[in-house]
Chains A and B, each alone.
Chain A
């Protein structure tokens, strides 16, 4: 008999007033009992709508059936057939708009907590499994992967499992891409990312950190000098945008990328880290996406009073609902329908306030969202000593500008076909470098597709 409870099992988490002062993980994960109980809510529909909602097509009802039986290791094996990073995706995927949005249980009540179950299974495996990944026999074909974020790691993993000799090149000193510099510890512990990378190393993947492709080595050299038969570009979208309003270069104005990198990659908040960070008293985060929520919650943890300034309303916030709720619980103040027009500084060039206008929503614009319009005579000032611009990012032009014949869109995104092939022979691309800033799981899907295409191309030779 399935568990007919209309609600998902709650996942234990740190209390808001406690967690907003530390960087430990917010949610604590299901216990085995909670997981088994939740798994029993799955009705095992014949047509499996949830699988259709998953960008990497995890066999969701199959793994959930194993959880219900208490065979967690088998559940893990089923997930890992489709996903290279289950412990990551169980935490950061927007399940509510993907698999869980298609769940039949969601029609009346809440959908099955697929994401929480995925996370439970991956964590259980990481804590209990002693099995080492077996290194497949090398087939002698060399593949280069540029970038060690979600798309690159997935592509590398899939190819390594097939016996390819894969080298991942990373510009920073630590592998993991946005998973280590962008997403904070309290949402995705770095030990989890590290574990996934260790797993890939066991499969034989080589990691070369401190190599900036386009500067240290060019794509031409990878192919001609170093003999890589195919190259996958998963360099992400790392270039921050600013508003181009007066005062944006005052001290105390950061891009979300800079603020988060100081905190997440450089661990500037920890004793013993040499990287400095200001501990703001009052911070304004401009933007409404997941990155804005991350930046706001980090600023809160540094002890600041934090405002989110967003030009549309609550309904239009692009961040995941769960992130918005967590931010609100932690005491972040939402200034919606508000837009900054100028940043004000003191005589020493430090930020002292942000001047804003009130907005109202007009007719839907090209994006389908209602266009924000400035309310006349609505200027007001919020006193802050820190402003964090979280307006989105675009792909880094370093590779484009140093690779001849690599076609890009006017926005700087690399042009790739449905298999990930670019305008250059044997050069593939995927993830944010192609789509512009999107989600971890979409990047993983692109890495997977490209891995399959590379395999097909080389084996078909």
Chain B
């Protein structure tokens, strides 16, 4: 069992949890992910590592409440335990030798973008962080990003915080103003990553996207997480989760990601009924 030792609501639909998992904490690197189950009948869900503390033996995850499992997870509290917690899985983010990077995060994807920005910042890389949210209430990790970057741009869809507009608008402005990046790392909704990728392709800037498809085992066994990258089938769990964004077939990934949408919605409603919670 894996004990929850810290829990914090980052915004009404996003929660941070610090989990006791010494073996995972000993090895985890930014970009890698874990798979958890809340209980014996639970499904296996992948979540990217948001932070880790090797000395304390803990791993931090940040999740958005989207389905039954995340709803259940959110109802657990400090002192409760997760049934299963396995990792670290996938390959770490490649950060070596990078001198100047734009980290572009969207929504809850910022939770994953943050440790990458932090690691780059710690190794002396110049980090520009561009983060986007729908609205002011959903902003997470603003202070953390500021601390890990030399330039921080906050965007919101409705203009309630930062600048009104999309992350691509901000990134385009930076590039046009003459900023030269070794690499752009983008983590967020597929549609956002698709457009970030489109933009950087025009400028010929190498871009890495972190993918979070449906998966079961996370070790290369089921093939449920397969994507088309550069015309070839890749498994996100073992070949990724990060890939060259200019090679990813985002449209296919979006279709595959929606496979269980209906099931997810229904299960989430049922879970909410169970907890007598409002469906958010």
A244 contacts partner chain B, Cβ-Cβ < 8 Å: yes
Question: What is the CA–CA distance of A244 and B223 in the complex, to the nearest angstrom?
Answer: 13
Of A171, A244, A276, A348, the residue contacting B219 (CB under 8 A) is A171
Question: What is the CA–CA distance of A349 and B42 in the complex, to the nearest angstrom?
Answer: 28
Map CB proximity to A onto B254-280 as digits: 1 under 8 Å, 0 otherwise.
011011100110010000000000000
A258 engages B224 (CB within 8 Å): yes
B194 contacts partner chain A, Cβ-Cβ < 8 Å: no
A239 engages B256 (CB within 8 Å): no
B182 contacts partner chain A, Cβ-Cβ < 8 Å: no
A459 contacts partner chain B, Cβ-Cβ < 8 Å: no
Of the four ranges (under 10, 10 to 19, 20 to 34, 35 or more), the interface on chain B belongs to 35 or more
A248 engages B259 (CB within 8 Å): no
Residues of A within 8 A of B (CB): 171-173, 181, 209-212, 215-217, 238-240, 242, 244, 248-251, 254-255, 257-258, 261-262, 266-267, 272-276, 278, 348-349, 396-398
Least CB distance from B275 to A in Å reads 14
Least CB distance from B196 to A in Å reads 22
B255 engages A251 (CB within 8 Å): yes
Within 8 A of A (CB), among B98-134: none
| Residues of B with C-beta under 8 A to A274 | 41-43, 68-69, 267
B37 contacts partner chain A, Cβ-Cβ < 8 Å: yes
> Interface majority SS on B: helix, strand, loop or mixed?
mixed
A215 engages B226 (CB within 8 Å): no
Of A210, A248, A272, the residue contacting B233 (CB under 8 A) is A248
B221 engages A239 (CB within 8 Å): yes
Q: How many A-B residue pairs have CB under 8 A?
A: 109
Within 8 A of A (CB), among B72-91: 83-89
Question: What is the CA–CA distance of A275 and B263 in the complex, to the nearest angstrom?
Answer: 9
A398 engages B224 (CB within 8 Å): no
Q: Using CB atoms, name the residue of chain A closest to B266.
A: A276
> Interface majority SS on A: helix, strand, loop or mixed?
loop
A173 engages B86 (CB within 8 Å): yes
A171 engages B256 (CB within 8 Å): no
B228 contacts partner chain A, Cβ-Cβ < 8 Å: yes
A398 engages B238 (CB within 8 Å): yes
Question: What is the CA–CA distance of A274 and B223 in the complex, to the nearest angstrom?
Answer: 20
A276 engages B263 (CB within 8 Å): yes
The residue among A254, A275, A348 with the most chain B CB atoms within 10 A of its own CB is A275
Known: A251-B256, A274-B42. A216 touches B24 (CB 8 A): yes
A210 engages B85 (CB within 8 Å): yes
B89 engages A240 (CB within 8 Å): no
Least CB distance from B63 to A in Å reads 15
B259 engages A251 (CB within 8 Å): yes
Least CB distance from B264 to A in Å reads 7
17 further A-B pairs in the complex, CB-CB below 8 A; given A216-B24, A217-B23: A173-B37, A173-B83, A210-B86, A211-B86, A216-B87, A248-B233, A249-B233, A251-B256, A257-B221, A258-B222, A266-B216, A274-B42, A275-B44, A276-B264, A278-B259, A349-B252, A396-B221
28 contacts across the A-B interface (CB closer than 8 A) = A171-B217, A173-B86, A181-B221, A209-B84, A210-B84, A211-B23, A211-B86, A212-B86, A212-B219, A215-B219, A216-B24, A216-B27, A216-B87, A216-B88, A238-B220, A238-B221, A239-B221, A242-B233, A244-B233, A251-B259, A254-B224, A257-B221, A273-B43, A274-B42, A276-B43, A276-B264, A278-B259, A396-B220
A249 engages B226 (CB within 8 Å): yes
Of A172, A217, A248, the residue contacting B217 (CB under 8 A) is A172
Of A216, A242, A244, A250, the residue contacting B86 (CB under 8 A) is A216
Q: Using CB atoms, name the residue of chain A closest to B68.
A: A274
| Residues of A with C-beta under 8 A to B68 | 274
Q: Would you list the 10 A-B pairs with minimal beta carbon distance, nearest first?
A: A349-B255, A258-B222, A255-B223, A210-B86, A274-B43, A276-B263, A238-B221, A275-B43, A173-B84, A276-B260
| Residues of A with C-beta under 8 A to B256 | 249, 251, 349
Question: What is the CA–CA distance of A278 and B259 in the complex, to the nearest angstrom?
Answer: 9
| Residues of B with C-beta under 8 A to A212 | 86-87, 89, 218-219
Question: What is the CA–CA distance of A396 and B263 in the complex, to the nearest angstrom?
Answer: 31
| Residues of A with C-beta under 8 A to B219 | 171, 212, 215, 238, 396, 398
| Residues of A with C-beta under 8 A to B88 | 215-216
Known: A173-B84, A212-B86, A348-B255. A261 touches B217 (CB 8 A): yes
Least CB distance from B2 to A in Å reads 9
Least CB distance from B216 to A in Å reads 5
| Residues of A with C-beta under 8 A to B233 | 242, 244, 248-249
